[in-house]
Structure 1
Amino acid sequence: MGKVEVDHSKYQNIRFDIQDESAIMTDILETIPYEYPGKDVEIEIPTNEFTSVCPWSGLPDFADITISFVPNQNLIEMKSLKYYLTSYRNVGIYQEHATRRILEEVVAAIKPKRMKVKALWNPRGGLGTKVVAEYTA
């Protein structure tokens, strides 16, 4: 059997729509009071449904993200966090920058004693990425 010629030109101009970071709904984050200030608990919020997109190709980046924190006066309201995280869905942002931004914006909202955001990004092209960002008051 001879070599088959395939025309790949149909892929040259494909570009998926990408939103810029202004689409991230930071102002939607809400808090609720922590009723036991001074009594530390560690809260862990995992999600395996986080998506953003590669700023170069527009192809999706998927991550398992875990936000863990020790509250001070406030907790994060979960519905607002879901909307916030979902707002990244079509945003072109580097994986490391998304992880750090999530940490900084949730810290700004709830002002915890400490927080860690761990993101395990699905492999693409054989390479996965684990990004950990931490904050201590």
Structure 2
Amino acid sequence: MSETNIYQNLQQLGGKTELPEIPEKAILESVQNPQADVDYMVRFISPEFTSLCPLTGQPDFAHLVIDYIPSARLVESKSLKLFLGSYRNHGAFHEDCTISIARRIIKEITPKWLRIGGYWYPRGGMPIDVFFAQGEIPQGVWVPDQGVAPYRGRG
């Protein structure tokens, strides 16, 4: 590892940080990728993601799986947790939440490749799964299945 402290400009890690009220106010931090000379995949899983239905205000729940192949920057995980938590009081449809999360990550770190699987629990008796991917997977990078089974209810 180099002598440069790649973590010195982080604002949220290592201290108490308030949950942002809305996604637009959330700070999604990144750090320099110290292994940028090699392609590899990073996975974040948020099994208890929550947002609100924009029409009824009722809570919606999802299991999110975010996979990306970094280029020069890595997502800082605490800031990602706070960013995802900012959706707790945000009203939007499943598709909007899932795609806006992907777009924000892409905007902040410009990964070589990113995919997100939004596995939403049933609303009105129907689960909705939302998938998005951008970029090409570099040759030789192991990209495992997201490992989330389709919703089966109690059966």
Q: TM-score range by the shorter chain?
A: 0.7 to 0.9
The answer (yes or no) to whether the contact 2:26–2:86 under 8 Å persists in 1 is no
- 1:124 is aligned to 123
The answer (yes or no) to whether the contact 1:26–1:105 under 8 Å persists in 2 is no
2:127 partner SS:
strand
The answer (yes or no) to whether the contact 2:45–2:64 under 8 Å persists in 1 is yes
TM-score by length of 2: 0.71
Stretches of 4+ aligned residues off by more than 6 angstroms: none
Q: Which runs of 5+ in 1 are unaligned?
A: 1-21
CA drift of 1:28 comes to 0.6
- 1:13 is aligned to none
- 1:84 is aligned to 83
Identify if the C-alpha distance between structure 1 residues 39 and 72 changes in structure 2 by more than 3 Å, giving closer, same or farther: same
Q: Which runs of 5+ in 2 are unaligned?
A: 1-20, 137-155
- 1:104 is aligned to 103
2:40 partner SS:
coil
C-alpha distance in 1, partners of 2:77/2:59?
A: 24
Larger Rg: 1
CA drift of 1:91 comes to 0.7
1:49 partner SS:
strand
CA drift of 1:95 comes to 0.5
Q: How does 1:11-90 map to 2 (within 5 A)?
A: 23-25=22-24, 27-90=26-89
| Percent identity between the two aligned chains | 35
- 2:151 is aligned to none
2:122 partner SS:
strand
C-alpha distance in 1, partners of 2:65/2:75?
A: 14
C-alpha distance in 1, partners of 2:103/2:122?
A: 25
2:35 partner SS:
coil
Q: Report the AA paired with residue 115 of structure 2.
A: K
Instruction: From the two aligned structures, give the one with the greater strand fraction.
Output: 1
Q: Report the AA paired with residue 113 of structure 1.
A: K
